[in-house]
A and B are shown apart, each in its own frame.
Chain A
Amino acid sequence: MLLELNHIYKWVQSGGQKIFLLKDINLKVEEGEFISIMGPSGSGKSTLLNIIGMLDVFNEGEYNFLEDSVHNLKEKHRSNLYKQYIGFVFQAYHLLDELTVYENLEMPLLYKKYSSSERKALVADMLDKFNIVGKQNLFPSQLSGGQQQLVGIARALISNPKLILADEPTGNLNSKQGEEIMEIFKELNKEGVTIIQVTHSEKNAAYASRTINLLDGRQV
């Protein structure tokens, strides 16, 4: 088992009132699964994804990731955990504007203190795999949305994570580009990467083996 959420609650205090963002979420994810999260806007999908990604904290419940109890971990350990196992893909790509495609891919490796030759090899692999060798010296602003998202995914994959978290990865793309991304996810999933994606499209959700529906912070 990769991760497990038990009775997760998250709320914010607003004017002396608790506003629940997530209520009693229970979720088990096995390694190699492909899961879609769906639900209307504001239903808490991103919040849930951030909690899984350990970028956000929750108020109640338990979260176990591999052997670790995330709810008991210190901030530092938590960030080490996600650095090691999780890659993020964003709706708005979130590439670093000042860096070329090559350098964007290299960035996570720099933070993880890979040697220069290892970095070269890994980046070259990724460029090859996603067919963007010719684009390696371009800046994000010189790419189309679909190409940027490809780079975003390549960057998420480069340090070989167990889990990919993707928040509406196709939200800013046209349907053809979206389909390409989904095909890549399917491929990756076959290679053993666990994927959790948030999506609004039934068609994209169908790529997953299982769908979780949220409404007002609750599973339905």
Chain B
Amino acid sequence: MFKNHIKIAWRGLKMDKMFSALNILGLSIGLTIAILLFSFISFEKSFDKQYKSYSDIYRVLVNTTGDAFDKEIMATAPAAVAPALKEELSAVKYAARMLQHSFGETAFIKANNNNFIEKRLFWCDQELFSIFDTKFIKGDPASAITRPNTVVLSKSAAEKYFGTIDPMGKTIKVDDKTELEVTGVFEDFAKNSTIDCNLIASFSSTYFSKEPSWSNSSFETYVQLKDNASKVASENQMQQILDKNVDKQGQWYTLSLQPLSEVHLYSKDYTSTYTSRIGSISEIKNLSFLALLILLIACVNYMNLMTARSQKRAKDVGINKTLGASSKSLVGRFYAETGLLTLIALCIGVVLSIAIIPIFNTITGASIDYKFLMAPSFIIGVCIVWLVTTLVAGSYPAFYLSGFSPSAILKSANRTVSNAVIRKALVVFQFTASVVLIVGVLVVYQQLEFMKNKDLGYKPQNVIAVSTAAIKTYNKKQALANEVKKLSSVIEVGSAQGFPGMDVSGRSLHKNDQDENGKNIQTNVADASVLEVLQLKLLAGKTLPSVKQEGDTLVDVVLNKKAITYLGLTPEEAIGKKVDMQLGDNATIIGVVDDFNFESLHKPIGAYAFHNSRFEGKPYLLVRFNSASVANTMRQLESAYNKVATDSSFDYTFLDKNMEQLYEQDRKTAKVGLLFCLLAIFVACLGLFGLAAFTAEQRKKEIGVRKVLGASVLGITQMLSADFLKLIAVSIIIAFPVAYIIMQKWLETFAFRISIGWLVFFVAGMCAVIIALITVSFQAIKAATANPIKSLRTE
């Protein structure tokens, strides 16, 4: 019987080629998206599972308590935490700290007489390799980085730095200062590993290992608990350890443990992690929802086209029933038919997915590879998708059609099987979803445009930050600045600790002694000219002094308006006042600049200060240039740099590009949204096209009669299109409030955002109408221009 079902289904497919093609195309698209998303989700969920001790590994989180940090949770802990836990907490088997080079900066590496830029150099405790079982190709994981000034390289880093030469025992030089001996080579970390170091140097080489403090919270700390050790009990003990080492006043945080299983997907809001691989569970949820929506639209399409053919189907059902078929066997038959069709679509979907994976990887930033498609979990997943699609898409034809009474077809008056209402509802559903997606895409693009063009309060365009971390002496840095200043295309230069768009030192600003918590403030050590380079607007006072006497303990501070507003001062009042912001007793406000967006527009503007204390260095040279010839300017800058810093390579950042980087996630959302939107509309159009074809076919005779009686082609086209337009109108009416609510929610993730205007709805509505009209009128015109005699004769 089953073989027979399949045979009939297969012949049916071949006989009705257009319907089959529309169906398969729609389902293939839906399934392709589902497969891609499924592989993306499994990839994201597979993170870190390769580590043997997966379930026993935790990251130490620092939960800040004061208001100054807005209850920020940090993924990095003080350097004293790991040794203390290892020592005093019996449940801890291993503990390791990781510090990215210079708290997250680029390292300049000299190896084998070549200069390299390395973004993923870490200083780590040796137990890291015990926690995350790392395969060593050369050297011994148990001892490789126990000594100071040793380093191990990933296989690809070893190839990059040393080519075919054996790196063991060789030295590399970091930032033209520190020499490290290579003591091992390890297999690259997998793409789905949160740990993503290229170079791992011994933590004992660093200053922090000698005097680990309980306050500088900059070290990503992982621990492995002993088998069956309880997380909660360990956390309680951690509090006791904290109490023992830090007095209550000094405790601005509590410690907690985050299971490794949550590190990748549930850490989006935690700050200062060093990994470049941060996933987001909400992204996964949104994508899954969109994928399901498209799959559902494709299934609806299928049901729609199936019911459109129900007249022929009704006849089949009737005949089969008189021949003795039970409803059950007919349900089986329709499922077999759907299953066959979805199987074909699935095969196409798999092939398409494989073709699309590279594009998908670039859009989403994922790194799914083809091997992944062979994994048993993936194959099982695809089978589940196939089964579910078949069940959903097949349900309607199976149960609706198999219920037909056989006598219906035996009646001489061949009554039309009326399921118009359901068909209309299905079309409305598809178009509602499409219009919602169109509105969504338009709003996302408007917001992105808005962010691109918003006046940020400073001008990041045509400013470049050249990293000078590898230049050792002040004189050399000064020489570089002078050299650069001489270039004709350069307008202004200034050194600074950082620039807007990157994290600088966080401190807290206090109104007075009673104000214990204070307000979080970003502080940036800068030259006098930096205000000019960034083109900030000075509201009162003046910029930082250009020279500062050696040994001068006075700290000059330029605050932004947010900061002085917090202090309860006007710009004019603020000038000359002393300020308590962890910069010593002699910090004095000498200038006030207008607020500017130094973080992404997701966040409201906070307090910011430029100052000239000597607590931090100034590893960036900010250069404003005129835009006439960027390439030429870059060449000149590089040669100036190489003249001064002979031992390191030229590394730079464009400030505006860096700003855009902050919206990477949003742009990703926009791109994925656009892609899905187009596909959804396309699939919906396939359905509409099929339906229009069906209607035209059904009304062939009527159209013939009308034409014989003198109806014009235009009149008939209008008549056929009008019905569909009504449906589209209903979809639009339903879609608008839904889209508004969803997009308003999305916009609320931005502190600076557009308001949704009526124009968006107008455009989305028009798009839907025009697309639908084109789809439908194609069929309508074909029907209207057909020779009426022909259509009348065929009856």
The answer to whether B412 and A96 touch across the interface, beta carbons within 8 angstroms, is no
Contacts of B7 in A (CB 8 A): 103
Contacts of A94 in B (CB 8 A): 315, 318-319, 409
Residue B411 at the chain A interface, CB threshold 8 Å: yes
The answer to whether A98 and B410 touch across the interface, beta carbons within 8 angstroms, is no
Q: Which of B8-16, B62-70, B436-444, B445-453 lies at the binding interface? A: B8-16
The answer to whether B316 and A96 touch across the interface, beta carbons within 8 angstroms, is yes
Residue of B at shortest CB range from A95? B319
The answer to whether B4 and A110 touch across the interface, beta carbons within 8 angstroms, is yes
Residue B405 at the chain A interface, CB threshold 8 Å: yes
Residue B325 at the chain A interface, CB threshold 8 Å: yes
Residue A108 at the chain B interface, CB threshold 8 Å: yes
Cβ contacts B388-413/A at 8 Å (1 or 0 each):
00000000000000000111011110
Residue A50 at the chain B interface, CB threshold 8 Å: yes
How many of A's residues come within 8 Å of B, CB to CB? Answer: 26
Residue B326 at the chain A interface, CB threshold 8 Å: yes
- Report the Cα distance A159→B407, complex, angstroms: 21
The answer to whether A98 and B12 touch across the interface, beta carbons within 8 angstroms, is yes
The answer to whether A99 and B11 touch across the interface, beta carbons within 8 angstroms, is yes
- Report the Cα distance A79→B15, complex, angstroms: 31
Given contacts A46-B412, A55-B322, A159-B324, A111 and B407 within 8 Å (CB-CB): no
Residue B329 at the chain A interface, CB threshold 8 Å: yes
The answer to whether B319 and A108 touch across the interface, beta carbons within 8 angstroms, is no
- Report the Cα distance A53→B8, complex, angstroms: 27
Tell me how far the C-beta of A214 lies from the nearest C-beta in chain B, rounded to whole angstroms. Answer: 14
Residue B631 at the chain A interface, CB threshold 8 Å: no
Given contacts A55-B405, A97-B15, A99-B11, A108 and B323 within 8 Å (CB-CB): yes
Residue B320 at the chain A interface, CB threshold 8 Å: yes
The answer to whether B319 and A112 touch across the interface, beta carbons within 8 angstroms, is no
Given contacts A46-B412, A55-B407, A98 and B323 within 8 Å (CB-CB): no
- Report the Cα distance A56→B321, complex, angstroms: 13
- Report the Cα distance A10→B412, complex, angstroms: 17
The answer to whether A46 and B325 touch across the interface, beta carbons within 8 angstroms, is no
* Chain A-chain B contacts (Cβ-Cβ < 8 Å), number: 55
The answer to whether B407 and A50 touch across the interface, beta carbons within 8 angstroms, is yes
Given contacts A55-B405, A99-B11, A50 and B323 within 8 Å (CB-CB): no
The answer to whether B323 and A107 touch across the interface, beta carbons within 8 angstroms, is yes
- Report the Cα distance A91→B409, complex, angstroms: 12
Residue A11 at the chain B interface, CB threshold 8 Å: no
Q: Determine which of B315, B326, B410, B412 lies in contact with A111 in the assembled complex, contact meaning CB atoms within 8 Å.
A: B326
Contacts of A110 in B (CB 8 A): 1, 4
Given contacts A108-B324, A111-B323, A98 and B11 within 8 Å (CB-CB): yes
Contacts of B322 in A (CB 8 A): 53, 55, 82, 88
The answer to whether B329 and A111 touch across the interface, beta carbons within 8 angstroms, is yes
- Report the Cα distance A56→B408, complex, angstroms: 9
Give B7-34 interface residues, CB cut-off 8 Å to A: 7-8, 11-12, 15
Give A59-86 interface residues, CB cut-off 8 Å to B: 79, 82-83
- Report the Cα distance A180→B775, complex, angstroms: 51
The answer to whether B323 and A46 touch across the interface, beta carbons within 8 angstroms, is no
Cβ contacts B314-351/A at 8 Å (1 or 0 each):
01101111111110010000000000000000000000
Residue of A at shortest CB range from B4? A110
Tell me how far the C-beta of B395 lies from the nearest C-beta in chain A, rounded to whole angstroms. Answer: 22
The answer to whether A46 and B411 touch across the interface, beta carbons within 8 angstroms, is yes
The answer to whether A111 and B15 touch across the interface, beta carbons within 8 angstroms, is no
Contacts of A155 in B (CB 8 A): 323
Contacts of B1 in A (CB 8 A): 110
The answer to whether A50 and B410 touch across the interface, beta carbons within 8 angstroms, is yes
Contacts of B320 in A (CB 8 A): 96, 107, 111
Q: List 30 A-B contacts (CB under 8 A).
A: A46-B410, A46-B411, A50-B410, A53-B322, A55-B322, A55-B405, A55-B406, A79-B321, A79-B326, A83-B324, A88-B322, A91-B412, A94-B319, A94-B409, A95-B319, A96-B8, A97-B15, A98-B15, A99-B8, A99-B11, A103-B4, A107-B320, A108-B324, A110-B4, A111-B320, A111-B326, A111-B329, A112-B324, A159-B324, A167-B410
Chain B contacts to A: CB under 8 angstroms: 1, 4, 7-8, 11-12, 15, 315-316, 318-326, 329, 405-407, 409-412
User: Which 3 pairs from chain A and chain B are nearest by CB?
Assistant: A111-B324, A98-B11, A83-B324
Q: A53-B322, A108-B324 are in contact. List 16 more A-B contacts (CB 8 A).
A: A46-B410, A50-B407, A50-B411, A88-B322, A91-B412, A94-B318, A95-B319, A96-B316, A96-B319, A98-B8, A110-B1, A110-B4, A111-B320, A111-B323, A111-B325, A112-B324
